[in-house]
Amino acid sequence: MRSTTCLLMRFGWLAGLAGAAFPCPGQSAGGQPQALYSTGFEFSEGYDPRYTLVGQNGWVSDGSGSNGLLTNFFQGDGQQAFLGYSPPDGTNATLNVWHPINYVPAGTNGTLVTFSALLAITDSSNTNWDDFRWSAYNFYTNAVGTNTLGASRLFSLDFDNYYLTINYALDDGKGFVSTGVSFTNSVMYQLVISMDFQNNLWSATVNGVNVVNAKPITTANAVLTLGDVDAVWAIYDPANPGDNYMVFDNYKLSAQSAPSIAPSLQTVGLMSNGQFLLQVYGAPGAAYTIESSSDLLTWLPRTTLNSSNGVMDFLDTNAPGASAKFYRARSAP
């Protein structure tokens, strides 16, 4: 199977330029996805907003600080979960909340795991600001697989509420690295993290913008399993925490068989001569065929790209004069 991503671009007779990534009609990134866990935190699912999130429907925590449920923070979307706002006990510097998954990728089946969630970061009303993160953990068992012995953090995606920047950290002990992408308080974002356990790679997009591409899930030869994906409140100064908080919803995890992380396409822009430039993000060393269409029915191959670091540019010299054009990237045979 070949993984595929589409991108819609409109230019020419329309004022400006618009682009959005979406699944290609009739195309699949791999085998049928297997749902690992999904929740919208709704009352109908058994979530009661009078109580903390932790303790309901299998959600657990490490650390202290407030967490719970809100209604219509995302307007018209029912209930959402949150963590942050009220200070933790004592000198606790982090609060992790998660729902155990304990998934073991088997062979080539189900080795591509996708996590997605809606999120928004609400700013502090005081002069203290913290970080909010999504961290993936593995889990490992005894020799016969009957008892979980522990877990280690694989990687994290960080939303720094002081600088309003998005950063990431691996398990190499080198700390956080800036992605060069920023965010805005109280704005809803769609986060998607793809984890290719067969090739030890992960990527992340925020509202379709690639923020991390093909980084190692582990640099330390950690066990390649998925224990959980945690929402984290990381307090900058435990003695002076902010009253900022992260709201999140539509928390989903699925697994499927696929050759690797699906390529993603991102707009660079329309050149002064009318030619159109986009970037392709994929697995390092993999080859991708770029195709274009004017109607989503007939697709014409344009070129095949590959790159040692997984980032490639495509310049469409046939764009001038087109009123609308669709692009897709497909993993080449």
Asked, colleague to colleague, whether 4-28+262-331 and 34-256 share their fold, the answer is: no
Task: Please state which CATH class domain 34-256 belongs to.
Answer: mainly beta
Measure CA 213 to chain center: 11
Please give the pLDDT value at position 144. Answer: 52
Q: Is 271 helix (H, G, I), strand (E, B) or coil?
A: coil
Question: Which residue type, as a one-letter code, is found at position 108?
Answer: T
3-state secondary structure at position 112: strand
Please give the CATH topology (third level) of the domain spanning 4-28+262-331.
Answer: Immunoglobulin-like (2.60.40)
Please say whether the beta carbons of 132 and 231 come within 8 A: yes
| 3-state SS assignment for residue 28 | coil
pLDDT at site 13? 31
DSSP of 144-174: TS-SEEE--EEEEEEEETTTTEEEEE-SSS-
Give 85-88 contacts, CB < 8 A, sequence gap 24+: 85/243, 85/244, 85/245, 86/243, 87/241, 87/243, 88/63, 88/64, 88/235, 88/238, 88/241
Name the residue ranges covered by the structural domains of the chain.
Answer: 4-28+262-331, 34-256
Q: Which residues pair with 151 in a beta bridge?
A: none
Which residue in this structure is represented by tokens 């203290």?
128
Q: What is the DSSP string of 219-252?
A: SS-----B-EEEEEEE-S-TTS----EEEEEEEE
Query: What local confidence, expressed as pLDDT, does residue 273 receive?
Result: 79
Task: Output the pLDDT for position 33.
Answer: 83
Count CB atoms within 10 A of the CB of residue 118: 19
Tokens matching residue 319: 């764009």
pLDDT in tens, the chain (333 residues): 455 555 554 443 333 344 444 545 544 455 678 999 999 999 999 999 999 999 999 999 999 899 999 999 999 999 999 999 998 887 789 999 999 999 999 766 668 999 999 999 999 999 999 999 999 999 987 655 555 567 899 999 999 999 999 999 999 999 999 999 999 999 999 999 999 999 999 999 999 899 999 999 999 999 999 999 999 999 999 989 999 999 999 999 999 887 677 788 888 877 777 788 888 888 888 888 888 888 878 888 899 998 788 899 998 887 766 666 788 888 877
- Whether 317 and 270 have beta carbons less than 8 Å apart is answered as no
The rounded radius of gyration (Å) of the Cα atoms in the chain is 21
CA pair distance 139, 159, nearest whole angstrom: 25
Close Cβ partners of 84 (under 8 Å, ≥ 6 residues apart) = 65, 66, 67, 95, 122, 130, 132, 233, 242, 243, 244, 245, 246
pLDDT at res. 226: 96
Q: In what order do the strands lie in the sheet with 94-98?
A: 60-63, 94-98, 228-234, 131-137, 153-160, 165-169, 177-182
pLDDT at 316: 86
